[in-house]
A and B are shown apart, each in its own frame.
Chain A
Amino acid sequence: MALVGPLRSVTFALLVSLLGAASPAAPEPPRPTEYEVKAAFLYNFAKFVKWPEDRSLGPTFVIAVMGEDPFGEVLDRTFAGKTIQGRKTEVRRVRTPTPPGDLQILFIGSSEKPRLAQILKTLEGGSALTVADMEGFTERGGMIAFRLRSDVVNFDINLDQVERARLKMSSQLIRLARNVIGKGGL
């Protein structure tokens, strides 16, 4: 216990010198919620992915949420007044995947996990970017899976699936991914 004394005074001196010397630091802005950040990521995915200019793009750019919706109004707010590839954006909630051309980004809620294979199969041949929160999503044929690690949102990409849907993903986006399945370096 002899060390507690000196340790305490060192700690104290450090505290005083640091708190005294440092100019009052700017307060950390209040942290956004997980889904505010994920919604902003969806917007960035829309910006950093190119959809083929054919029937896969309708008159509006549609971001759809299927199943249980974790975003709420956050998603609508995020895309309000935004344009993607020259089109106005529209946020929809859907129960079943719709024919190609009707939607460009599909967020699949975790409630749909039991039906995932079926949903992904329906989307085959189309150019919808599939995104989800669920574990193992990219391994199971999804394109982008969000992950939350240490309070920071990041994501995995299944590049094979992205390319199969004829989507062009910017390398800037790929570089930020935690894990990339499929075509890459080597």
Chain B
Amino acid sequence: MPTRRRPSEIGLGLGLALALAAFLGAEDQRDLTAISLEELAQTKVTTVSKTEEPRFRTPAAVYVVTAEDIRRSGATSIPEALRLAPGVHVARINANQWAVGIRGFTSRLARSQLALMDGRSLYTPLFAGTYWETQDTLLEDVERIEIERGPGGTLWGANAVNGIVNIVTKDAKDTQGWFLSAGGGNEERAFLRARYGGTIAGKGSYRVYGKYFRRDAAFHATTDAYDAWHMAQGGFRTDWKLPGDDRLTVQGDAYSGRAGERTTLSFYERPFLRTAERQAPLSGGNVTARWAHVMNGSALTVNAYYDRTNRAEPSFQEARDTFELDLQHQFGLGQSQRVVWGLGYRLSDGRGQGIETVAFIPPDRTDHIFSAFVHDDVDLVNDRLRLSVGTKLERNRYTGFELQPSARLIWAPGPRHAVWTAASRAVRTPSRLERDLLLTAALSPTAPLFARVIGNEGFTSEKTWAYEAGYRIQPADRLSLEAAAFHNRYRDLTSLEQDRSFVESGRQILPFRFANMLRGRSSGVEVTSLAHLSTRWWISAEYSYLSLHLETRPGSTDTSSVASVGSSPRHMARAQSSWNLPGHVDLDVGFRWVDRLHSQKVPAYSELDARAGWQVVSRLELAVVGQNLLHKHHPEFGGSPEPTEIERSVYGEARWRW
């Protein structure tokens, strides 16, 4: 590929020339006291986390929910906090389950969205998706939640097709002292959160936390209120300063709780259908260690974690151990290029057991995933035009090597304008679900008629080409606007093919098989705006539009999967107004409107959340939070087996810090 070599040679030559110029000019340091205040406020500094570029200059649709946003929203769980981000569809299925969709494909286990917390993957490879009810931490210790809409497979790996949720918790040095919060209400029945942070003889800092909550069931028109739940969680984080500029972080969490579930189970003997209600035990724990070595102009990070999850649902239980080791190295190439490359290995071992009609074959399976990526950020014109190119190469046991290249370009003609565009390929690799599942469902309580879903060894990856563009503008100091548009083309999406029925031991079986016979395209726009009307009043408004079209390939016998289009709203809008009132009172009001979900039989709805917080003294804050205030109850997603509605919630909270 001779043509490929030339630009890199030019880049290298230019880089070397610039490096030389920088070296020769390094002696005359700028006097920072001589520059204007405004200029100082825009001066970039060197920090350990060199990848954290200003969001304004990021060539992707990224939104950051900050610690302050979470506090002011009154959100008590991570999925509720995700509602603050534009283009993210969060639907609470019942009291303890959420469906999350970014740019479509909303589902309880969204297969094409990746979620991480402090470098630890929250995605389960068994059913492919994230169980949001068990992903928690002390929300006060979350520094930010970055939500990237669109594919991020180059840096993050497979399954980051439609979006990434990256949760980052605070450094232990930023969570010093005591924090205590207690409260309760009609839905948030009772909660208690405590944290203590201290220092270790000037060498580092630590924190330990514990939390407990008990939440009420949602509204059920026709069944028992089965979905009340409670959870206890504890954890720690230590951040050490090592000799040189090295940093070491060791952190861990453990949780245990019970979530009420109601499932219709199928059996081979009469009655073929039985309903089970159970307080499903959910527990798990994890330990992460991260070492960052900063050298002059380059940084090496090694991240390793071990994670254990135990789920025992009425139909299926699984214990899963995951171990992952990641290495990442970034360095400057000349003055204009920054290269990041990395290697990763993940081992995931699951041992499952189900009732007689739910099985994985084989029941136990250990997956090994190897990955490598390289990413180059090229400053083409004086920090005004930047190109990011990269690719990830991943090897998994199901489909072998998967290549996920992407190219992103951003042009920022001034500090207040930026235009970006991107093209990426992303894949969603098969999970055990599509390969190993053997699920039989009774179609009648009395007649021996069954449907059976059979895993397919030939199931392959879902592939996406995504084209994106975005524009950011800050027309005035106090006003910023952002728009992003995308067009995705999907190939080899999951379909369920119906095969010829047969009789097995006197039972009529309708077999279905996972296949890749679905294809589609989606387009959409997301618009975000923020206006600081005064120093104590600011408002934000967001709107997102999604058009998703799916079709089966010729020869497919799938008649149902196309309807999954109707699980995501076509339109969504959100507006929020925040005030800092006299007398140390914060007031926040958030309104959202979500279009109907026709395949979930959920009508369009509007809801309002509000929070008033009063800083009584510097150590104590009292708050009252109202959620879903407009309706006594409303559905957000088709519940299974019966629809469930989310109720109006009001709770009070006291927070101490000292």
Q: B419 to nearest A CB, angstroms?
A: 14
Which residues 3-32 in B have Cβ within 8 Å of A in the complex? 3-4, 6-7, 10-11, 14, 17-18, 21-22, 25-26, 29-30, 32
Decide: A36 and B536 in contact? CB cutoff 8 A.
Answer: no
Q: Which residue of B lies closest to A79 (CB)?
A: B33
**A86 part of interface (Cβ distance < 8 Å):** no
**A110 part of interface (Cβ distance < 8 Å):** yes
**B190 part of interface (Cβ distance < 8 Å):** no
Which residues 512-554 in B have Cβ within 8 Å of A in the complex? 533-537
Residue with the highest number of chain B CB atoms closer than 10 Å, among A9, A32, A134, A183: A32
The 10 closest A-B pairs by CB, nearest first: A185-B534, A184-B535, A40-B32, A150-B54, A25-B382, A113-B176, A15-B7, A180-B535, A141-B618, A140-B618
Interface flags for B573-612 (1: CB within 8 Å of A; 0: not) read 0000000101010000000000000000000000000000
Known: A32-B43, A44-B37. A7 touches B30 (CB 8 A): no
Query: Number of B residues whose C-beta is below 8 Å from A?
Result: 75
Checking A1, A117, A185 against B537 with a beta-carbon cut-off of 8 angstroms, the contacting residue is A185
Interface flags for A1-31 (1: CB within 8 Å of B; 0: not) read 1011001110110111011101011111111
Interface flags for B616-651 (1: CB within 8 Å of A; 0: not) read 001100000000000000000000000000000000
Residues of the B chain whose Cβ atoms lie less than 8 Å from the Cβ of A140: 618-619, 657
Interface flags for B430-468 (1: CB within 8 Å of A; 0: not) read 000000000000000000000000000000000001000
Decide: A175 and B53 in contact? CB cutoff 8 A.
Answer: no
Residues of the A chain whose Cβ atoms lie less than 8 Å from the Cβ of B41: 152-154, 176
Residues of the B chain whose Cβ atoms lie less than 8 Å from the Cβ of A120: 618
Interface contacts (Cβ under 8 Å), in number, total 184
Decide: B170 and A26 in contact? CB cutoff 8 A.
Answer: no
Known: A27-B18, A36-B32. A152 touches B202 (CB 8 A): no
Complex CA distance for A114 and B177, rounded to whole angstroms:
5
Stretch touching chain A among B44-52, B307-315, B494-502: B44-52
Decide: A152 and B618 in contact? CB cutoff 8 A.
Answer: no
Interface residues of B (CB under 8 A from A): 3-4, 6-7, 10-11, 14, 17-18, 21-22, 25-26, 29-30, 32-33, 35, 37-38, 40-47, 52-56, 67-68, 170, 173-177, 198-199, 202, 335-336, 378-383, 385, 387, 389, 405, 407, 409, 423, 425, 465, 477, 533-537, 580, 582, 584, 615, 618-619, 657-658
Given A41-B40, A152-B45, 11 other A-B contacts at CB below 8 A?
A4-B425, A8-B4, A15-B387, A25-B381, A31-B44, A37-B43, A110-B174, A153-B45, A180-B535, A186-B534, A186-B536
Q: A78 to nearest B CB, angstroms?
A: 6
Q: Which residue of A lies closest to B68 (CB)?
A: A179
Complex CA distance for A5 and B41, rounded to whole angstroms:
43
Interface flags for A39-54 (1: CB within 8 Å of B; 0: not) read 1110110001000000
Checking A9, A48, A141 against B37 with a beta-carbon cut-off of 8 angstroms, the contacting residue is A48
Q: Which residue of B lies closest to A44 (CB)?
A: B37
Known: A27-B18, A27-B335. A150 touches B537 (CB 8 A): no
Decide: A174 and B535 in contact? CB cutoff 8 A.
Answer: yes
Q: Which residue of A lies closest to B423 (CB)?
A: A7
Decide: A180 and B536 in contact? CB cutoff 8 A.
Answer: yes
- A and B contact pairs by CB, cutoff 8 A, 13 listed: A12-B6, A14-B409, A29-B30, A31-B46, A37-B32, A37-B40, A40-B40, A114-B198, A135-B67, A152-B42, A176-B38, A180-B580, A186-B537
Q: Which residue of A lies closest to B174 (CB)?
A: A135
**A136 part of interface (Cβ distance < 8 Å):** yes
Q: B120 to nearest A CB, angstroms?
A: 23
Known: A4-B405, A27-B25, A174-B535. A18 touches B42 (CB 8 A): no
Complex CA distance for A182 and B579, rounded to whole angstroms:
11
Residue with the highest number of chain A CB atoms closer than 10 Å, among B45, B52, B176, B202: B45
Complex CA distance for A14 and B380, rounded to whole angstroms:
10
Known: A15-B7, A19-B14, A117-B618. A150 touches B535 (CB 8 A): no
Q: A29 to nearest B CB, angstroms?
A: 6
Residue with the highest number of chain A CB atoms closer than 10 Å, among B6, B32, B389, B407: B32
Q: A40 to nearest B CB, angstroms?
A: 4
Residues of the A chain whose Cβ atoms lie less than 8 Å from the Cβ of B45: 31-34, 36-37, 148, 151-153
Decide: B176 and A32 in contact? CB cutoff 8 A.
Answer: no
Q: A183 to nearest B CB, angstroms?
A: 8
Complex CA distance for A22 and B174, rounded to whole angstroms:
44
Interface flags for A137-156 (1: CB within 8 Å of B; 0: not) read 00111000000101111100
Residues of the B chain whose Cβ atoms lie less than 8 Å from the Cβ of A184: 534-536, 580
Complex CA distance for A172 and B56, rounded to whole angstroms:
23
Decide: B423 and A3 in contact? CB cutoff 8 A.
Answer: yes
Decide: A135 and B409 in contact? CB cutoff 8 A.
Answer: no
Q: Which residue of B lies closest to A186 (CB)?
A: B534
Complex CA distance for A14 and B176, rounded to whole angstroms:
49
**A122 part of interface (Cβ distance < 8 Å):** no
Residues of the A chain whose Cβ atoms lie less than 8 Å from the Cβ of B381: 18, 22, 25
Residues of the A chain whose Cβ atoms lie less than 8 Å from the Cβ of B176: 110, 113-114, 134
Complex CA distance for A36 and B3, rounded to whole angstroms:
44
Q: B339 to nearest A CB, angstroms?
A: 15
Interface flags for A152-171 (1: CB within 8 Å of B; 0: not) read 11100000000000000000
Checking B10, B37, B43, B379 against A152 with a beta-carbon cut-off of 8 angstroms, the contacting residue is B43
Checking A82, A117, A154, A185 against B658 with a beta-carbon cut-off of 8 angstroms, the contacting residue is A117
Residues of the A chain whose Cβ atoms lie less than 8 Å from the Cβ of B67: 135
Q: B416 to nearest A CB, angstroms?
A: 14
Decide: B387 and A14 in contact? CB cutoff 8 A.
Answer: yes
Residue with the highest number of chain B CB atoms closer than 10 Å, among A44, A48, A150: A150
Complex CA distance for A154 and B38, rounded to whole angstroms:
11
Q: Which residue of B lies closest to A156 (CB)?
A: B68
Residues of the A chain whose Cβ atoms lie less than 8 Å from the Cβ of B17: 24
Complex CA distance for A151 and B49, rounded to whole angstroms:
9
Residues of the B chain whose Cβ atoms lie less than 8 Å from the Cβ of A26: 382
Decide: B37 and A27 in contact? CB cutoff 8 A.
Answer: no
Checking A18, A27, A37, A172 against B22 with a beta-carbon cut-off of 8 angstroms, the contacting residue is A27
Decide: B14 and A18 in contact? CB cutoff 8 A.
Answer: no
Decide: B657 and A28 in contact? CB cutoff 8 A.
Answer: no
Q: B36 to nearest A CB, angstroms?
A: 9
Decide: A78 and B47 in contact? CB cutoff 8 A.
Answer: no
Checking B46, B379, B380 against A32 with a beta-carbon cut-off of 8 angstroms, the contacting residue is B46
Q: A155 to nearest B CB, angstroms?
A: 9
Decide: A44 and B40 in contact? CB cutoff 8 A.
Answer: yes
Q: Which residue of A lies closest to B534 (CB)?
A: A185
Decide: B383 and A19 in contact? CB cutoff 8 A.
Answer: no
Residues of the A chain whose Cβ atoms lie less than 8 Å from the Cβ of B175: 135
Q: A14 to nearest B CB, angstroms?
A: 7
Complex CA distance for A130 and B272, rounded to whole angstroms:
72
Residues of the B chain whose Cβ atoms lie less than 8 Å from the Cβ of A111: 199, 202
Complex CA distance for A33 and B48, rounded to whole angstroms:
10
Decide: B3 and A151 in contact? CB cutoff 8 A.
Answer: no
Known: A68-B202, A185-B537. A151 touches B47 (CB 8 A): yes
Residues of the A chain whose Cβ atoms lie less than 8 Å from the Cβ of B533: 185-186
Decide: A113 and B177 in contact? CB cutoff 8 A.
Answer: yes
Residue with the highest number of chain A CB atoms closer than 10 Å, among B4, B6, B7: B7
